[in-house]
Amino acid sequence: AGTLKLTLAQYRSMAAFAMFASDLDAATRRQLTRGERLMELLKQPQYAPYPLSHQVMLLYAGTRGYLDQVDKDRVNEWSRAFLRYMDTSHANIGQNIMETKRLNNEDALRQAIVDFNASWS
């Protein structure tokens, strides 16, 4: 949660600054891009919140930059496809998160995200 709060605070600060700036450096553009995607990730269907395991996996992907190349308008589509992929191909990761209330196998999740992104278009 700390990483998410910090990233979103930086995004909001940069977004306010960017409204008045014409030239933005690459680091600022990356920060704005990541913040936009995180804001999209936080949108959940009304009356159907994601289970803890899905929230953890999505926020991990978003805060680590795995959505930076996804078009902002496709983040919701990416999220749905990614969660289907995780539930069918890597259900053990989600089950472990639900049982322990922690992300114990970060390497497995990281590799699953990389594999998914390689096949997603």
Which pLDDT score, from 0 to 100, does residue 32 have?
Answer: 83
Closest alpha carbon to 39 in 73, 87, 85? 73
Closest alpha carbon to 63 in 53, 55, 52? 55
What mean pLDDT, rounded, does the chain reach? 90
Mean pLDDT of 2-14: 76
- The answer to whether the beta carbons of residues 67 and 37 sit under 8 Å apart is yes
Give the residue with greater pLDDT, 21 vs 70. 70
Lowest mean pLDDT among 6-20, 23-37, 88-102: 6-20
Q: CA-to-CA distance for 102 and 56, rounded, in angstroms?
A: 9
Measured CA angle at 58 (ends 103, 10), to 5 deg: 100
> 60: helix, coil or strand?
helix
pLDDT digits (tens, 9 = 90+) for 26-85: 888 888 888 889 999 999 888 999 999 999 999 999 999 999 999 999 999 999 999 999
Domains of the chain by start residue, with CATH: 35-119 (1.20.150.20)
